[in-house]
Chains A and B, each alone.
Chain A
Amino acid sequence: MDKRQKEIDSLKDYKYGFSTDIENVQAPKGLNEDVIKFISNIKREPNWMLEFRLKAFERFKVLKEPDWQKPKFPKIDYQDLYYYSAPKSMKDKPKSLDELDPKLLETYKKLGIPLQEQARLNGIAVDAVFDSVSVATTFKEELTKQGIIFCPISEAIQNHPKLVKKYLGSVIPTSDHFFATLNSAVFTDGSFVYIPEGVRCPMELSTYFRINASNTGQFERTLIIADKGSYVSYLEGCTAPMRDENQLHAANVELIALDDAEIKYSTVQNWYPGDKDGKGGIYNFVTKRGLCKGKNSKISWTQVETGSAITWKYPSCILKGDNSVGEFYSIAITNNHQKADTGTKMIHLGKNTKSKIISKGISAGSSDMTYRGLVDISSKANSSNNYTQCDSLLMGNKCGAHTVPYIKNKNSESNIAHEATTSKISEEQLHYCQQRGLNPEEAVGLIVNGFCKEVLQQLPMEFAVEAQKLVGISLEGSVG
Chain B
Amino acid sequence: MKEQLKKDFDNSIKNLTLSQKDIEIKKFCLDSFIEKGFPNRKDEDWKFSDLNQIIKKNIGELSFYNDYTTTNKVDTSIFVDGLEHNKIVFINGRIEKIDFDYEKKDKIEIIDQSETINEFKNSNSLSDLNKAFTNKCFKILVKKGYQLAKPLIIYHTTNSKIWSKNINLRLDFELDKDSSLRIIDLYNDTSEKNFLNIFYNFELKENSVLKNFKVDKFENKNIKYSFNNIEQDKNSISETFVLSSGSNFFKNEINCNLKGRYSSAFVNGIFSLNKDKHHEVRTTVNHLTDNTKSYQLIKSVLEESSKAVYQGKILVNSDAQKTDGYQLSKAILLNKESEFSAKPELEIYADDVKCSHGSASGSLNDDSIFYLMSRGLSYQQSRELLINGFLLDVVEKITDSEIKNLIKNMIGIKE
Q: Which residues of A contact B (CB under 8 A)?
A: 68, 379, 392, 394-424
Contact = CB atoms under 8 A, between A and B. Distances in A.
15 contacts: A397-B321, A400-B349, A401-B348, A402-B345, A402-B346, A406-B343, A407-B343, A409-B362, A412-B362, A415-B363, A420-B356, A420-B358, A422-B356, A424-B352, A424-B353
Contacts of B339: 408-410
Q: Mostly helix, strand, loop or mixed at chain B's interface?
A: strand
Given A397-B349, A400-B349, A424-B352, A411 B333 contact: yes
B360 A418 contact: yes
Interface of B: 44, 318, 321, 331, 333-363
Contacts of B318: 397-398
A417 B347 contact: no
Contacts of A418: 342, 344, 357-360
B119 to A, nearest CB: 28
A423 B354 CA distance: 6
B344 A405 contact: yes
B356 A421 contact: yes
Contacts of B343: 404-407
B345 A407 contact: no
A30 B14 CA distance: 61
A417 B362 CA distance: 9
Q: Mostly helix, strand, loop or mixed at chain A's interface?
A: strand
B361 to A, nearest CB: 4
Contacts of A417: 358-360
A374 to B, nearest CB: 10
Given A422-B346, A423-B354, A409 B334 contact: no
Contacts of A423: 353-355
A154 B366 CA distance: 54
B1 to A, nearest CB: 27
Nearest to B315: A402
A411 B302 CA distance: 11
B349 to A, nearest CB: 5
Contacts, number: 114
A29 B318 CA distance: 43
Contacts of B346: 392, 401-404, 420, 422
A415 B343 CA distance: 16
Nearest to B345: A404
Given A404-B343, A422-B355, A415 B337 contact: no
Contacts of B349: 397, 399-400
Contact of B340 (A397, A403, A409): A409
B348 A392 contact: yes
Given A422-B353, A422-B355, A411 B336 contact: yes
Nearest to A388: B359
B74 to A, nearest CB: 43
B362 A416 contact: yes
Given A402-B345, A412-B334, A394 B350 contact: yes
Nearest to A420: B357
Nearest to B331: A409
Given A402-B345, A418-B358, A420-B356, A413 B363 contact: yes
A421 B339 CA distance: 26
A416 B358 CA distance: 10
Contact of B362 (A406, A414, A421): A414
Given A398-B318, A404-B343, A419 B350 contact: no
B361 A419 contact: no
B404 to A, nearest CB: 29
B352 A407 contact: no
A412 B356 contact: no
A379 B354 CA distance: 36
A407 B350 contact: no
Contacts of B331: 409
Contacts of A379: 336-337
A416 B359 contact: yes
Contacts of A419: 356-358
Given A402-B346, A412-B335, A395 B351 contact: yes
B410 to A, nearest CB: 26
Contact of B333 (A402, A412, A422, A424): A412
Contact of A409 (B341, B353, B354): B341
Contacts of B44: 68
Nearest to A380: B336
Nearest to A401: B348
A413 B342 CA distance: 17
A199 to B, nearest CB: 38
Given A397-B318, A415-B363, A418-B360, A402 B340 contact: no
Given A406-B343, A409-B331, A399 B358 contact: no
B280 to A, nearest CB: 13
Report which residue of B346, B349, B358, B363 has the largest number of chain A beta carbons within 10 angstroms of its beta carbon. B346
Top 7 A-B residue pairs of the complex, sorted by shortest distance between their CB atoms: A415-B362, A412-B333, A394-B351, A418-B359, A421-B356, A403-B346, A407-B342
A438 to B, nearest CB: 21
A431 to B, nearest CB: 15
A404 B315 CA distance: 12
B359 A403 contact: no
A407 B354 contact: no
A58 to B, nearest CB: 24
Contacts of A397: 318, 321, 349-352
Given A407-B359, A418-B359, A412 B351 contact: no
A416 B342 CA distance: 11
Nearest to A424: B351
Given A419-B358, A420-B356, A396 B344 contact: no
B202 to A, nearest CB: 27
B370 to A, nearest CB: 16
A455 B245 CA distance: 42
Contacts of B345: 402-405
B191 to A, nearest CB: 32
Given A416-B359, A417-B360, A422-B356, 5 more contacts: A394-B350, A409-B333, A419-B356, A420-B356, A423-B353
